[in-house]
Chains A and B, each alone.
Chain A
Amino acid sequence: METSFDPDLIHAIFKLVCSSSAERDEETEAVDVEVGAGASKKSRPTTAHHSALSVSCELLRLFVAEAIERTAIIAEAEGANKIEPTHLERILPQLLLDF
């Protein structure tokens, strides 16, 4: 079986991010000019379907796998047998643009 992320872990991170941004919006509500926007922001979705979490896990697994694979190619081209930070540096810009 291929190792991947735990959907519950991803779910927990999602909830944490949602609650933090909800707190921030409450603080800035007084500055909001549009009342409509402030009202709709209160009902923030914090639930996620199980399938959505699985696909998110797959997406993150692809991110890590792609990073390792690209770095390994550089390392092999240099003739090293261990992946070093200098190899990672070279692939980072393109990796971050691709994801």
Chain B
Amino acid sequence: MVGSGDDGGEGDGDHFEVLKGMDPEADERAELLKDRFRLSVISIATSEAKKVNMEVAEPVVACIADLAFKYTEQLARDVELFAHHASRKSVKMEDVILSAHRNEHLANLLRTYSQELKGKQLQTESKKKRSSKKDDKEIRD
């Protein structure tokens, strides 16, 4: 499995062709992002494993991190295509939800999450409006 650094770089070279080989600067940035990404995956994976009272072996986490990174690259390409297809210049929530269309459960989970987000956003917006209206009143009084 994914263990030594040397073999890992050559082994998955064909999959990383999108990011590698463009220019050394982009390669460096990609490596940096990959490392930061791996750290996040490690923290999520260890907390998930704790929930079921299990430990995770390091090669497992490294493998999941690499897979998740490739998935993120694919997601970025898909989401950009969807936004472009909808004649939009920026990627919106619906593009991300659409990328999960092959799995209905997943799409529904994301939809409820996005609705919760929207609800929270509206709440904070209305709170701001209410508090600013209160301030106006006090000033007038």
Chain A interface residues toward B at CB < 8 A: 2-6, 9-10, 12-14, 16-21, 23-24, 40, 43-49, 51-52, 54-56, 58-65, 67-69, 71-72, 75-76, 81-85, 87-89, 96, 98-99
Let me know if A68 and B22 touch, CB within 8 A: no
Chain B interface residues toward A at CB < 8 A: 1, 18-19, 22, 26, 29-30, 33, 36-37, 40-41, 43-45, 47-49, 52-57, 59-60, 63-64, 67-69, 71-73, 75-77, 79-80, 83-84, 88-93, 95-97, 99-100, 103, 106, 109-110, 113-114, 117-118, 121
The contact of A16 among B19, B40, B54, by CB within 8 Å, is: B19
Let me know if B93 and A83 touch, CB within 8 A: no
**A76→B54 CA distance, assembly (Å):** 9
8 contacts between A and B (CB under 8 A): A6-B40, A13-B73, A20-B18, A45-B88, A55-B113, A68-B49, A76-B52, A87-B60
Let me know if A20 and B26 touch, CB within 8 A: yes
Interface of chain A: mostly helix, strand, loop or mixed = helix
**A32→B52 CA distance, assembly (Å):** 53
Interface of chain B: mostly helix, strand, loop or mixed = helix
Nearest chain B CB to A55's CB is how many angstroms away? 5
Number of A-B residue pairs at CB separation under 8 A: 173
Let me know if A45 and B60 touch, CB within 8 A: no
Q: A16-B30, A99-B103 are in contact. Are A47 and B75 (CB under 8 A)?
A: no
